[in-house]
A and B are shown apart, each in its own frame.
Chain A
């Protein structure tokens, strides 16, 4: 008989005893929820009356269509917004780029200029709802900041977040073809700007979700996440920014797969690691700097194209685990995600999954209900020590910029992708409906009607943006882009103010990203089609 183990290959015993946690010191390792080291939760009354932020990742078509989608979700009880861009937007290309032609608005919303953000947020109460996004952070920030100001909402009031992915984006899903140093600088500039101008806004969400979807286990997921967090924190300290001015606005967006207890232990371990690191290593003093906000998007990779109804069960199990672990916001991956950009129906199922768990089961009434379990505490300790060990192993390899340039991270992700494929093929990772308990295709019809519904790219938007660009004052546009180029050439200048000015003056994401690339001796258009406008 093979030894039982978790998905991250942590050996398991048949059961756990008091002896397993005999060396656990309650005060220093656990403590009450809301107290250092926050393993049991960042607050004592974690879910209060309203629960966690329940939302679904949305975005499709043009900004007007996505605005309707957001309003629909809010009308069904969604408590926060999280919008994802289409693939051109994620790659920082405007919709009129030739490579974008067949992808405008199909895998998310198409956003490229301030007008788009105005339409996206029209009529949305930006002063009271948290606005998160899975978009290139500098543009999401600029769009929200400027749109809110025009609506008379002070940026001081804005809540929400942007994802900062300088380390791994190029290698794993969201390549924007920018050099490492520029990606890093944009993240740091944003954090510095927000610490001053948008103090309630989480300017640095460490997104461990997207890269762990390469098939990473929980230890690898969090280790790579911490490597990135630590690097950004050190760089901010080097810039002379007070740690307590930005650390409270760091959050982690984690993945959640199907190994139930392992995922719970991962989140508890991450909170404790973060608190200790901030206090002991980086000298943070504000308790809010130590108690990290953790949010989650449940794993799309854990879902199957076969028997899509099984995905609803998976979403429910993952959501339950996340609530038991005490996260601050949840998005459930859509049951039809294996096939398509989420349907309206699957969004509703995701939201209702959260509402049923919140309002019917009572699991959110007591904070950290699993705290003290012999098993959970043992697993939390084990995962914590494995994450920490791996963080130090990676840091010992040298400068992360060098690792990134020489392809170490990319190889790591590709090896994980290969390993994951093999685990499924060889049946070592079981997926009901996919590699066990399969049914013939002709029987596999339930909920499949949603998978066959497709929608076309927004062809008309391509022409609209072309006309928009022609209609601007070309001379002025060139000037604002030149200013960004100049600022980008000066390593100490902040890029945020010139980007805000250019965005306000009508420059587009593709243009702004392009001139920043140029300043770093990268091609304006990574795909070699467009001529630089400056």
Chain B
């Protein structure tokens, strides 16, 4: 079985990187391939890299409120490119109300402050499996 390929990045000018680095390394240690795009990404850059790198899941670390405005744009871009890559958003700033809103928007999985290591790994594994299945069906 092919290992999951995951993009991990941060949007806009948010410079809080502790979570992104910790999660990227955690997923790598769990045997996944991680494409780390770091800080200063706009939605178009994330989508471009995700397609070029052929990732199964996009994981965004959010520690500012910029994601509120960038995520709808990112989802629209994915749709435009006809790429149904699942989007995972994580960050300690995410409240219960945020989580509900993000899921409604179309974010596949949301991890707030109480996320566990295993929970994140399981979610990435499941979503990338689903995505690859989808890919095969269409391709």
Q: Which residues of A contact B37 (CB under 8 A)?
A: none
Chain A, Cβ-Cβ closest to B22 = A421
Within 8 A of A (CB), among B1-32: 12-19, 21-23, 25-26
Chain B contacts for A422, CB-based, 8 A = 22
A417 touches B18 (CB 8 A): yes
Cα A160 to Cα B47 with chains together (Å): 45
Contact of B40 with A by CB under 8 A:
yes
Whether, in the assembled complex, B116 has its beta carbon less than 8 Å from a beta carbon of chain A, the answer is yes
The prevalent SS among residues of A at the interface is loop
A441 to B115: give the CA distance in the assembly, Å: 12
Q: Determine whether the beta carbon of A339 is less than 8 Å from that of B95.
A: yes
Tell whether B96 is near chain A: CB-to-CB under 8 Å.
yes
Q: Look across to chain A and name the residue whose beta carbon is closest to the beta carbon of B73.
A: A102
- Distance, CA A357 to CA B66, complexed state (A): 37
In the assembly, what is the distance between CA of A339 and CA of B112, in Å? Answer: 10
B49 at the interface (CB under 8 A from A): no
Interchain CB contact (< 8 A) of B92 among A99, A100, A305, A438: A305
Q: Give the distance to chain B from A297, nearest Cβ to Cβ, in Å.
A: 16
| Residues on A with beta carbons closer than 8 Å to the beta carbon of B17 | 172-173, 417
Number of interface residues of B (CB under 8 A): 32
- CB pair A102 B113 closer than 8 Å: no
Answer whether A452 and B12 are a contact pair too, CB < 8 Å, given A102-B70, A215-B18, A417-B21: no
Which B residues are in CB contact (< 8 Å) with A417?
A: 17-18, 21-22
Which B residues are CB-close (under 8 A) to A174? 15
Q: In the bound complex, do residue B96 and residue A213 qualify as a contact, i.e. CB atoms below 8 Å apart?
A: no
Residues of B within 8 A of A279 (CB): none
Chain B residues with Cβ under 8 A from A172's Cβ?
17
Q: Is the CB of B114 within 8 A of A102?
A: no
Q: Contact partner of B95 among A213, A421, A425, A448, CB < 8 A?
A: A448
Q: Within the assembled complex, what's the spacing in Å between the Cα atoms of A213 and B17?
A: 10
A102 near B112 with CB under 8 A, answer no
Q: Is the CB of A175 within 8 A of B114?
A: no
Residue on B with the closest CB to A88? B13
- Contact indicator A214/B13 (Cβ below 8 Å): no
B19 neighbours in A (Cβ, 8 Å): 421
Say which residue of B22, B42, B66, B93 sits within 8 Å of A418 (CB atoms): B22
Instruction: Let me know if B116 and A90 touch, CB within 8 A.
Output: no
B117, CB-defined interface residue at 8 Å: yes
Question: B135 at the A/B interface (Cβ < 8 Å)?
Answer: no
Q: Which of B22, B25, B68, B96 has the most CB of A within 10 A?
A: B22
Contact of A173 among B16, B42, B66 (CB under 8 A): B16
A329 to B105, CA, bound (A): 45
B117→A425 contact, CB < 8 A: yes
Would B13 and A452 count as touching, CB distance under 8 A? no
Report whether A418 and B65 are in contact in the complex, using a CB–CB cutoff of 8 Å: no
Within 8 A of B (CB), among A155-200: 172-175
Nearest residue, chain A, Cβ from B99 = A441
A274 CB-CB contact with B under 8 Å: no
> Closest CB-CB distance, A282 to chain B, in whole Å?
33
Of all chain A residues, the one with the shortest Cβ separation from B21 is A417
Are B113 and A213 in touch, CB under 8 angstroms? Answer: no
**Would A99 and B12 count as touching, CB distance under 8 A?**
yes
CA distance A407 to B30 in the complex (A): 25
A93 at the interface (CB under 8 A from B): yes
Closest approach, in angstroms, between the C-beta of B19 and any C-beta of chain A? Answer: 8
Any chain A CB within 8 A of the CB of B39? yes
Known contacts A107-B64, A305-B92, A454-B65; is-contact A420 B18 (Cβ 8 Å): yes
Residue of chain A at shortest CB distance from B66: A102
Chain B residues whose CB sits within 8 angstroms of the CB of A304 once the complex forms? 113
Check A106 against B64 for contact (C-beta < 8 Å). yes
Tell me whether A434 is interfacial, beta carbon within 8 Å. yes
Whether A91 sits at the interface, judged by CB under 8 Å, is yes
> Is the C-beta of A414 less than 8 angstroms from some C-beta in chain B?
yes
CB distance from A258 to the nearest CB of B (A): 17
**Complex contact A100–B13 (CB within 8 A):** yes
Q: Mark B84-111, 1 if CB is under 8 A from A, else 0.
A: 0000000011011100000000000000
Q: How far is the CA of A301 from the CA of B92 in the complex (A)?
A: 11
Contact, CB under 8 Å: B42 / A305: no
Q: How far is the CA of A448 from the CA of B97 in the complex (A)?
A: 11
CB distance from A170 to the nearest CB of B (A): 10
Q: Is A7 positioned at the interface, with any CB of B under 8 Å from its CB? A: no
* 10 A-B pairs with the lowest CB-CB distances in the bound complex, closest first: A421-B22, A305-B113, A87-B13, A102-B66, A102-B69, A417-B21, A418-B25, A417-B18, A305-B92, A103-B13
**Known contacts A174-B15, A421-B18, A425-B116, then 6 further A-B pairs from the complex at CB < 8 Å, ordered by chain A residue:** A98-B42, A106-B64, A172-B17, A417-B21, A418-B22, A452-B95
